[in-house]
Amino acid sequence: MDANHGDKAYHVAVDVHSGTHEALIREKHGAIHISAKAMNIAWASDNRFWEWIHLPNDDFTGKYGFATAVELKQVSWLEVDGTMDLVKLAELGLSLSHEKTYEIVYHIKFKDDAFGWQNLPVTFALITPEEQKHRSEVLESRRGHSNQWHEVLGNEFKGPTTSTGKLSFGMFETSSNEKWKGGMILAGVTIRAKN
């Protein structure tokens, strides 16, 4: 990505489980910010499990450009994923350089009454045209700092050597489908070059 792009927003049609929606992918200062609206979230259309919320106009929204987030009320099966077509990214001038290492971070906040996260590893997956990576993290320690935004590392990856194919990413907790969890807010993800 060219770090001189500044601040640009792209409205793109995104195919999610509940149909095709227009979602925002924003490029600010060399990083790509993908709103939760542009991600596939299992049961996001059912307000018993998830609720879309508007974010206040504060330093966080100013920095990342997220206007909405999704609040997890309760699920036993956590599945959130996204896919970016590298050809479409290149058409927008947002190509990932194969000479750089990137990281993908998830912007997450826990409410005071968050529950079900102790001893529960969440898996963060990443698939590029050249590699697959998985890492797990128990998010309970972050829950201790409720109502504060956290950047949770999904994975690091080398920029693809090809401009075709897809970049897929996601966070999952599907192994303990009898254990309910809730009280998490997801604003979106950021893909950025490492220092």
In the chain, pLDDT over 70 holds for what percent of residues?
84
Residue 76 pLDDT level (bands cut at 50, 70, 90) = very high
- Which position has the higher pLDDT, 8 or 80? 80
Q: Looking at the predicted structure, is the pLDDT value of residue 160 above 70?
A: yes
Domains of the chain by range and CATH?
A: 3-193 (2.60.120.260)
- Report in angstroms the alpha-carbon separations of 99 from 11, 13, 157: 28, 29, 11
Q: What is the pTM of this model?
A: 0.86
Q: Quote the tokens at residue 15.
A: 């195919």
Per residue, what are the HEC states of 121-157? EEEEEEECCCCEEEEEEECHHHHCCCCCCEEEEEEEE
CA–CA gap between residue 3 and residue 153 (Å, rounded): 21
Contact 68/54 with Cβ under 8 angstroms?
Answer: yes
